Amino acid sequence: MAIQITLGGDDGSLAFIPQNFEVPAGEKIVFFNNAGFPHNVVFDEDEVPAGVDATKISMSEEDLLNAKGDTYVVTLTQKGTYSFYCAPHQGAGMVGKVTVK
């Protein structure tokens, strides 16, 4: 199983859709580039479960999804809440949160 998260709304909004969601531990999360790119997915090192290295689950802040249909896939195995953002659009509110059950 996998859940798909859309980067950029069809209306041009700079958002993760859905912005907040839950997944079971070990389920793939597919971030799908839709509109308003370039985008990326960076997990906030201060808002991931203790013991998780945010750099190992994040894209580099310099890496970007530049075309519609580009994807970034991550699998989170440790239960807890993870906050993430799009580095180019964080100031515009392009942030999200996933709870791993």
Among residues 7, 29, 65, 94, which one is catalytic?
94
**Contact call for residues 14 and 92 (beta carbons, < 8 A):** yes
Answer yes or no: 86 catalytic: yes
Label the pairing between strands 95-100 and 80-85: antiparallel
Q: From the candidates 8, 89, 96, 100, give the one annotated as an active-site residue.
A: 89
Determine which one of 39, 76, 87, 98 is catalytic: 39
Q: Is 86 left (phi over 0), alpha (psi -120 to 50) or beta?
A: beta
Catalytic site includes residue 80: no
Q: Is 94 a catalytic residue?
A: yes
The catalytic residue among 23, 65, 86, 87 is 86
**Active centre residues (catalytic):** 39, 86, 89, 94
